[in-house]
């Protein structure tokens, strides 16, 4: 019940295109859904996050869509750029005062061709 499943495993997009990554979760107690971006040799960095009281959150070129009834959420990267080439992880957790314990998806390796 703690799994988060992510797809696709890899994604190739042309510069200017839209990148879409999907995740599904099982535990209905999860109440915090972040997306992390990781470059080779670096630790994951928070990109954008959403809570289940809203269905969409947009920050610049990045948008999270959230479907509570389907237990799914997705990341949309608009106008994808070569600098966006990285591995993206969705995650989910139950937020607590002491901090979140994240359950990560398997990751999506995004390549944006110039």
Partner 1 sequence: DAGVTQSPTHLIKTRGQHVTLRCSPISGHKSVSWYQQVLGQGPQFIFQYYEKEERGRGNFPDRFSARQFPNYSSELNVNALLLGDSALYLCASSAPLSPGRSGELFFGEGSRLTVL
Task: Using CB under 8 A, list all residues that contact partner 1.
Answer: 6, 32, 34, 36, 41-46, 49, 89, 91, 93, 95-107
Q: How far is the CB of 16 from partner 1 (least distance, A)?
A: 28
Nearest to 6 by CA among 20, 19, 21: 21
Task: Indicate the residue among 77 and 90 with the shorter CB distance to partner 1.
Answer: 90
Q: How far is the CB of 35 from partner 1 (least distance, A)?
A: 12
DSSP letter assigned to residue 74: E
Task: Indicate the residue among 90 and 112 with the shorter CB distance to partner 1.
Answer: 90
Q: How far is the CB of 50 from partner 1 (least distance, A)?
A: 10
Task: Indicate the residue among 10 and 14 with the shorter CB distance to partner 1.
Answer: 10
Nearest to 78 by CA among 7, 21, 9: 21
């Amino acid at each position: 019940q703690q799994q988060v499943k992510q797809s696709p495993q890899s994604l190739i997009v042309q510069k200017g295109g839209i990148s879409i990554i999907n995740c599904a979760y099982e535990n209905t107690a999860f109440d915090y859904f972040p997306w992390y971006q990781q470059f080779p040799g670096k630790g994951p960095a928070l990109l954008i996050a959403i809570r289940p009281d809203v269905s969409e959150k947009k920050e610049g070129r990045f948008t999270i869509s959230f479907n509570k009834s389907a237990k799914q959420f997705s990341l949309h990267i608009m106008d994808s750029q070569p600098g966006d080439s990285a591995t993206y992880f969705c995650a989910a957790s139950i937020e607590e005062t002491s901090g979140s314990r994240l359950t990560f998806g398997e990751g999506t390796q995004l390549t944006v061709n110039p």
